[in-house]
């Protein structure tokens, strides 16, 4: 079973930033995760390889959690969990 099939089983909002370049994917991620309550999940799909570094810095600065990340083809997937109050 691929990670994509597993994600279908998890309640997560999805944000597809495919085709967008830095800094747009992380800016949209910040906006979308700010709408979530604590414990809710956001699946970010990106094609910009530099998003990985941006995402790691973002979670370190904000305290949100990176639950999983993987690559399938030219797409990168990041499953984040909000720790907002």
The set of catalytic residues is 22
Neighbours of 1 (CB within 10 A): 7
- For 33, phi then psi, to 5°, come to -70, -25
């Amino acid at each position: 079973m691929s990670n994509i099939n597993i994600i279908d089983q998890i309640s997560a909002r999805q944000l597809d930033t495919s085709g967008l370049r830095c800094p747009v994917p992380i800016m949209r991620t910040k906006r979308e995760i700010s709408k979530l309550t604590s414990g809710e999940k956001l699946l970010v799909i990106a094609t910009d390889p530099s998003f990985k570094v941006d995402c790691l810095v973002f979670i370190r600065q904000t305290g949100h959690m990176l639950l999983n990340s993987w690559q399938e083809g030219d797409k990168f997937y990041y499953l984040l969990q909000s720790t907002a109050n």
